Structure 1
């Protein structure tokens, strides 16, 4: 393999790993001049790869979908088969590690021609893959588009349906796609609310690409995992309650982290925090996380309020009583 061929393949790999590359950065990574990069781009175009170039200071190159699948990759039938398989794997979590599935899916979706994409959408909709356990149906087309934008740090407009069936448009910067249980979640920065939000992918009705790139915000893998855990743990509660604590909202959020989601300020010095559980015991467990020394009041409907009061009264009597003499 000649140096020219090796360099062209290295350039192709870079173009496939990110949506847009400045010409100066490509030249630096390949260790060549920008003029050489332009010649290598022309070679890729001759091979059938559609590489779009934009002039100017902020210009660069991006790999676009063409009229046919580029050579050296897959023929049409193979591309359709692989795209369907990757989409099913993404929704079923059948491949070892979601990142591998989504990366491969994003690469293929990026260059898939419109005609083949229509075939993939039609066939994927008719494929009934065996499901592992119960879980909501995730649109393969949606997860493919979201995976592509997440990889490329592209802002999206999402039409989103919440649990109550209300539809809204959300402007987001997608940071991570992650499975939890039998659901897929998108962690993103909500531009209108200026805060992190986690959306269930099966509730995304439509995805609109903006072609506007963003810089990733600092967030650790541990925090991503915790936020997804919080989102996956939420479900309509049989017992719903709220605590108003003598703690400003900012301090409360520092203590509770992602678990404080849904909290709202009550004046400057108090915070209302909704919580709940399957019964009064789970509700009581949530109250134990309120920091020591912080006073609070609780809104809890009957009969759960009386049941909790009776259990706490017995607990206090047990703690005030002498230690049991169990020697005998």
Structure 2
């Protein structure tokens, strides 16, 4: 009986970790026959787990959605990750998630073993969050819908509102969600434009039905976070520039957000910033407001704008009526 119970828990863990398994795959993982897998699936159904089965050579087993939420099976690291994530969820720009995360955390901590509760307490007690106030909140239902479409490799239809308020209809093959401390972004292949695009999640309004499923494409970049950073800080603007900041990379990274530009290491005491703006005049203000000593590398015209701003400010200070 104990062996059967342990195998059922292992089977449940496999079904929760992967969208779909074939019978032979499960039998191989569990070290049993396909017939035993079928019997164990029936036992899970009796316990309230909605396990769907599709016959045929392309079929398999899939954990579906039921009328009630059955217990989830988490290993130690997963339980700690969920508990810590729930504590920080209120500051991650998801609308209305604060109260829900507190309720879920209370339920989770009630059943955590003592050794895991100590790990969670230590992480929270000795971690100081540096979270900015989110600029735009995302409906949790929308975020979940986007994540499910990425997981299931399912085409996604939505209305998208750009920065000017204009709305367009999009059909995309979603790839990944990228989260910053202020916003969520969806990286997807836009079918109408035949190219990769980055969408702000708070501007997306899903318009079901979605589908069909698609074969995932190779990612547009190995580092998706850097890819999104470049897209939202540089590529969307008509004017781009590269400047050298005379501070170490770590110090610059503490002040330069994802929308400010892309930083790359150069030397021990300097780094490069690639950024964008609507015009060179705006670029001067943007770089100056970052607050570090800098020099212009590209384009040369930006140096002239820096001099013009310097002269303008100098004249303002030299006027007789100046304070």
Which category describes the TM-score, using the shorter chain as reference length?
Answer: 0.5 to 0.7
- In structure 1, how many angstroms separate the alpha carbons of the residues matched to 2:152 and 2:3? 29
Moved more, 148-157 or 174-183: 148-157
Compared CA separation, residues 3 and 309, structure 1 to 2 (3 A): closer
Tell me the secondary structure at the aligned position of residue 21 of structure 1. Answer: coil
1:25: how far off?
2.6
Q: Residue 184 of structure 1 corresponds to which residue in structure 2?
A: 184
Instruction: Please list, as runs of the form range in 1=range in 2, the aligned pairs for 1:121-136 lying within 5 A after superposition.
Output: 132-136=132-136
Instruction: Please list, as runs of the form range in 1=range in 2, the aligned pairs for 1:177-326 lying within 5 A after superposition.
Output: 177-206=177-206, 208=208, 210=210, 212-219=212-219, 222-233=222-233, 240=238, 276-277=277-278, 279-280=280-281, 282=283, 288=298
Tell me the secondary structure at the aligned position of residue 32 of structure 2. Answer: coil
Compared CA separation, residues 204 and 71, structure 1 to 2 (3 A): same
Q: Residue 319 of structure 1 corresponds to which residue in structure 2?
A: none
TM-score, length basis structure 2: 0.55
- In structure 2, how many angstroms separate the alpha carbons of the residues matched to 1:30 and 1:169? 46
TM-score, length basis structure 1: 0.55
Q: Residue 23 of structure 1 corresponds to which residue in structure 2?
A: 23
Q: Does the Cα contact within 8 Å between 2:91 and 2:134 map onto a contact in 1?
A: no
Q: Does the Cα contact within 8 Å between 2:19 and 2:62 map onto a contact in 1?
A: yes
Compared CA separation, residues 173 and 7, structure 1 to 2 (3 A): farther
Provide the aligned length of Structure 1 versus Structure 2. 222
- In structure 2, how many angstroms separate the alpha carbons of the residues matched to 1:46 and 1:212? 32
Greater percentage in strand = 1
Tell me the secondary structure at the aligned position of residue 283 of structure 2. Answer: helix
Unpaired runs of at least 5, structure 1: 74-81, 95-100, 105-130, 243-274, 291-303, 312-328
Alpha carbon RMSD of aligned pairs, Å? 4.2
Q: Residue 2 of structure 2 corresponds to which residue in structure 1?
A: 2
Instruction: Please list, as runs of the form range in 1=range in 2, the aligned pairs for 1:74-223 lying within 5 A after superposition.
Output: 89=89, 92=92, 132-206=132-206, 208=208, 210=210, 212-219=212-219, 222-223=222-223
- In structure 1, how many angstroms separate the alpha carbons of the residues matched to 2:90 and 2:219? 24
- In structure 2, how many angstroms separate the alpha carbons of the residues matched to 1:235 and 1:221? 15
Q: Does the Cα contact within 8 Å between 1:160 and 1:169 map onto a contact in 2?
A: yes
Q: Residue 109 of structure 1 corresponds to which residue in structure 2?
A: none
- In structure 2, how many angstroms separate the alpha carbons of the residues matched to 1:65 and 1:87? 26
- In structure 1, how many angstroms separate the alpha carbons of the residues matched to 2:161 and 2:87? 22
- In structure 1, how many angstroms separate the alpha carbons of the residues matched to 2:24 and 2:32? 10
Q: Residue 127 of structure 1 corresponds to which residue in structure 2?
A: none
- In structure 1, how many angstroms separate the alpha carbons of the residues matched to 2:50 and 2:162? 39
